[in-house]
Amino acid sequence: MRYFTLILFLLSTTLVAQDVHYSQWTKNPVFVSPSFTGSITDKMRITAQKREQWASVTVPFSTNSLSLDAALGKNGLGAQIIFDQSGSSHLSLTQLNLQYSRAISEWRLGLSLGFAQRNIDYTDLVFLDPSESVVSLSKSYVDLGLGVHREFRIDNFKELQIGYSVFHLNSPNRSFLNQEDILSFRHHFFSVLQIEMSDQVSLNPSLFFSNQNKQKELILGAEISYDLNNNDQDVILFGSANYRVADAIIFAVGTKYNQTFVGLNLDLNVSDFSPATNNYGAWEISFIHTIKHSTISRPNYLACPSFL
C-alpha cells in the first residue's frame, strides 16, 4: 500500500508538465494562434507535425498534430487534433480544437474551443511488491483560447507580421484526483519579418515567446528561402537556424513543391541536461499541403445563343 500512496503523491505534485510545443512553430500556424485559421490565399490547408524528444535518455516524449482549415471569405473554419504521450506510464493527452477566425479591418481574430482527455496507463510499470496494482486514470475537460494577428506592409520588399494568443482561458482543472491541478494561462507573442532580397531569395527573421506560469520559452532565428525559378514547377528550398534561449540550437531544412511543403529539423541541446543527451534533444517533421480554389475552364469554342 505504501507504493500506491507514493505514486498518488507523485501524481499530485510532479505531474505538472509544460504544455506541448514545437520548435518549427512557423510551420504549424493554427497551433500558435487560432487567428491563423483560414488565413490563406488558397481554399484549404492540411498541416501535420510530429516531434520526438529525449529519445537518447528515456522513453521518447512524442507530440503529434493534424489540422485542416479553410478560408471562407473573411471567415476561417478549422479543426486540429493533438496527441501527446510521454514516459513509461503512458501519460497522454488527446485534444480536439475547433477553431474560427474572422478578418476585422486590418486585424484577424480567432477563437478556439478544445475538448481534451488526459490519461495515464500503469500497465507497463513494474512495482516492487508483485501484489501491488494501480488502475489507469483519465480526466476530460474543456479548453478555451483566442488569438489575434496583423500584417504590416513596410515597403515593396518588407512585410511585418505580429500577433498574440492565449490559451486555457477557462482555467481547466486537469487533475486525476479530487484536488486541483489548474492549467495556467499560456501566452504566445510572435513576430515574423519577411524580406524579399531578390526575385528568388527571401529572408525571414522571427521571434516567438511563450509564457505559462513560471515556464518561459524564447526562440530567435531566421529562415532563408530560394526559389529555383522553374518555369514548369514551383520549387522552393528552405533552410533555417534558431536558438531556444538557454536550451537548444535548432537547424531545419525543407522544400516546397507546388502546393506541398515538407520540412525536417533537429534540436541540439545546449542546456545543463546536454551531458545526459549527448546534445541530442529532439527532431520534428513538418508537412503542409494547400488546396487551390477550383477554377472553371473556358470552352475553346463559341457557344451559340440559347434562342438559336
Q: Is residue 58 domain-resident?
A: yes
CA distances from 54 to 94, 166, 266, 276 (A): 20, 27, 12, 10
Range of the domain at 213: 2-291
Question: Does the structure show a pLDDT above 80 at 93?
Answer: yes
Confidence of residue 36 (pLDDT cuts 50, 70, 90): very high
Partner residues linked to 210 by β-bridges: 188, 217
Question: Could you tell me which residue, 264 or 281, shows the higher pLDDT?
Answer: 264
- The pLDDT value recorded for residue 11 is 42
Distance of CA 137 to the CA centre of its chain: 26
For residues 266 and 244, give the distance between their C-alpha atoms in angstroms, rounded to a whole number: 12
The domain spanning residue 240 has which CATH number?
2.40.160.40
Mean per-residue pLDDT, 180-203: 96
Q: What is the mean pLDDT of the chain?
A: 87
If one counts the domains in the chain, the total is 1
Q: What percent of the chain has pLDDT over 90?
A: 70
Confidence label for 276 from pLDDT (cuts 50, 70 and 90): low
Question: Is residue 139 helix, strand or coil?
Answer: strand
Identify whether 299 is part of a domain: no
At 2 the pLDDT is: 40
Residue 280: pLDDT band (50, 70, 90) is: confident
> Is the confidence at residue 210, as pLDDT, over 80?
yes
What pLDDT does 15 receive? 41
* pLDDT, position 14: 39
pLDDT-derived band at 157 (thresholds 50, 70, 90) equals very high
Write the CB contacts of 182 (distance below 8 Å, at least 6 apart in sequence). 171, 172, 173, 174
From the number of C-beta atoms within 10 Å of its C-beta (0-12, 13-18, 19+), residue 65 rates as: buried
Say if 83 falls within a structural domain: yes
Residue 166, in any domain of the structure: yes
CA atoms within 13 A on the CB side of 172: 18
| Within-domain flag for 57 | yes
Question: Within a domain: residue 139?
Answer: yes
Whether residue 308 is contained in a domain is answered as no
The three grid cell numbers given for residue 187, joined into one nine-digit string:
501566452
In a domain, 297, yes or no: no
